[in-house]
Amino acid sequence: MTIEQQLGTQVRAAVKDLYGIEADDRQIQFQKTRPEFEGHITLVVFPFVKAARKAPAQVAEEIGARLQGGLVDKYNAVQGFLNLSIAPSFWLGELDKVRRDDNYGRQPAKNRLMMVEYSSPNTNKPLHLGHVRNNLLGWSIARIQEANGWKVVKTNIVNDRGIHICKSMLAWLRFGNGETPESSGKKGDHLIGDYYVRFDREYKAQIAQLMAQGMDEETAKKEAPLMKEAQEMLRKWEQGDPEVRALWQKMNNWVYAGFDETYRRMGVSFDKIYYESNTYLEGKKEVERGLAEGKFYRRDDGSVWADLTADGLDEKLLLRSDGTSVYMTQDIGTAKLRFKDYPIDKMVYVVGNEQEYHFKVLSLLLDRLGFPFGKELVHFSYGMVELPNGKMKSREGTVVDADELMEGMIADALELSRDKVNTLPDITPEEAGEIARKVGLGALKYFILKVDPRKNMLFNPAESIDFNGNTGPFIQYTYARIRSVLRKADGLMQGEMPHLAALNDKEQALIQRLVEYPSVVRQAGDEFSPAVIANYAYALASEFNSFYHDYSILGEQDTDVRLFRLVLCESVAKVLRSALDLLGIEVPERM
């Protein structure tokens, strides 16, 4: 039971006894005491003033007097606000709970299943900065929901077919001269991405040539030989042409090997991977069923559409005139297969906010097709990652590559931490490299996840890796500092929690922050927001460093106070580690 719940029970009894009020949860309002006043938690008494028929300050005074003793050590009333100071015995008891509970902050199992989809790459290019935000958000959301008692299945849909895939395949056939990852020394996803860029360059040259011959731009785009060949290749793929399918399989396998390497370095994984090449067929079957049942209609050119104007949307293409499918067709099939494979209670799509319309349409179409889960889909919509020099464009090769970004962050961490790491006793180059890996990736992950996911964000690597301020390395360094203290305290942490008569303000503030952690985890789960966890971790680390600066720990002569402070340090480290784990961030034991 939280402190608010315990106090709420006492307040409810007090106002009933004092004023005959049967208070409900909405009337009992607590907030953190403002720093200029003494106290830990503040009760807003205005909801009781009318029934009490007294001035707010008097009501606050009367309730405070009734609460004092036991949980409430002392109080002060400021107009309609009752500032309550909680007894040291309560804080010591709560700290002991943190110390003893290895699962502190985690909620009981719900016995309900949530599927979280993230990543969703195309097999024509490597992962880039936008994918990094997507993967980090998806992984963290899954971890947070697990901490909130959900059973979570982490899933990925790989977009492994379509015109964009054929563009890379055609460019490799035309210009590759048999190049492979082995012969070039490139990761497979990078190699294929180069040919996607090459296609775009050659395609634009053909368009320019046709326009120079007098053709308008739109016609030139359609008539360019490369585009026509790519479209023909897509038709052959859908018809099962063995030669096209063999090339497609070979090039996709190169890409998958590259993706797996990137995912491993990023620290994310999946429980189940679906492939568009399998799910689109299920989607086509459902579209054809909907057409036969009169839920969709066919135009004169043979294309199939859904009319959603009655729902306030527009008409949506489901099958092209040549019979090939679109993304929506695939997503219908994927949803059907997932709910067949798993007893899903909640389906969450981690997809950028530019796809909000797409998921509104998907929800309506699934509902129209008779799937009961149609209206229950959740689109976790997040903002884009922007760069100081503008947006990224895959076709033009101007993306920030995920592998290069992570390598750069690790290299920067190694350089920035060189002086600190080299002072560690018996440090090996391997351990220094491992610390740099954790710090560099921690900096990247924290910088991205601390931002409200609904907002667009500007990524700045230099800011992210600072060892001061609201950064991952600052929190990691705080954890490593605590672990250093605890190693030096070996043998000094025996015994039960001492019963101290008083705590200083910073000790109480630290425990109060620790006690907030379970509520923070619940809030992050309710809001699907890793930023809630990230900013809590920063606040806890900042609070600890303020305490560490002002008070001695190992040098404290009073053995009871020293043991208490060591337990406090141990508990802060435990919660920091837990919070960073929910963000997918590793913590070095020393830095």
| Residue 22 belongs to domain with CATH number | 3.30.1360.70
What is the Cα–Cα distance from 51 to 465, expressed in whole angstroms? 55
- Are 270 and 132 members of one domain? yes
- Are 314 and 168 members of one domain? yes
Question: For all residues of the chain together, what is the average pLDDT?
Answer: 93
- Are 67 and 154 members of one domain? no
Q: What proportion of the chain, given as a percentage, has pLDDT over 90?
A: 84
- Are 49 and 193 members of one domain? no
- Are 462 and 495 members of one domain? yes
Whether 423 shows a pLDDT value over 80: the answer reads no
- pTM metric for this prediction: 0.90
Q: Which amino acid is at 185?
A: G
Domain contains 382: yes
What are φ and ψ of residue 117, in 5° steps? -100, 130
Closest CA to 382 of 117, 139, 134: 134
Domain contains 66: yes
Give the CATH number of the domain where residue 160 resides: 3.40.50.620
- Are 40 and 187 members of one domain? no
Domain contains 325: yes
pLDDT of residue 425: 79
- Are 205 and 58 members of one domain? no
| Structure token digits, residue 76 | 């002060």
What is the Cα–Cα distance from 135 to 485, expressed in whole angstroms? 35
Question: Among 86, 101, 130, where does a domain finish?
Answer: 86
Domain contains 588: no
Q: How far is CA 200 from the centre of its chain?
A: 33
What is the Cα–Cα distance from 186 to 183, expressed in whole angstroms? 8
Number of domains, the chain: 3
Q: Pairing between strand 72-78 and 29-32?
A: unpaired
What is the per-residue pLDDT across 205-227, written as a single tens digit (0 to 9) for each?
999 999 999 999 999 999 999 99
pLDDT of residue 323: 83
**Any long-range contacts for 506-509 (C-beta under 8 Å, 24+ apart)?**
506/543, 506/546, 506/547, 506/550, 506/551, 507/91, 507/547, 507/551, 507/564, 507/565, 507/568, 508/40, 508/86, 508/88, 508/91, 509/543, 509/547
pLDDT of residue 177: 95
pLDDT of residue 421: 64
- Are 449 and 365 members of one domain? no
pLDDT of residue 426: 83
Between CA 82 and CA 145, with CA 27 as vertex, the angle to 5 degrees is 100
Q: How far is CA 380 from the centre of its chain?
A: 10
Question: Among 354, 386, 418, where does a domain finish?
Answer: 386
- Are 27 and 127 members of one domain? no
- Are 81 and 127 members of one domain? no
Question: Among 86, 106, 140, where does a domain finish?
Answer: 86
What is the per-residue pLDDT across 465-519, written as a single tens digit (0 to 9) for each?
888 889 999 999 999 999 999 999 988 887 788 889 899 989 999 999 999 999 9
Domain contains 393: no
Domain contains 197: yes
pLDDT of residue 117: 97
Domain contains 144: yes
Kindly tell me the burial class for residue 555, based on how many C-beta atoms sit within 10 Å of its own C-beta (0-12, 13-18, 19 or more).
exposed
Domain contains 138: yes
- Are 566 and 525 members of one domain? yes
- Are 126 and 78 members of one domain? no
Domain range for 290 is 118-386
pLDDT of residue 112: 95
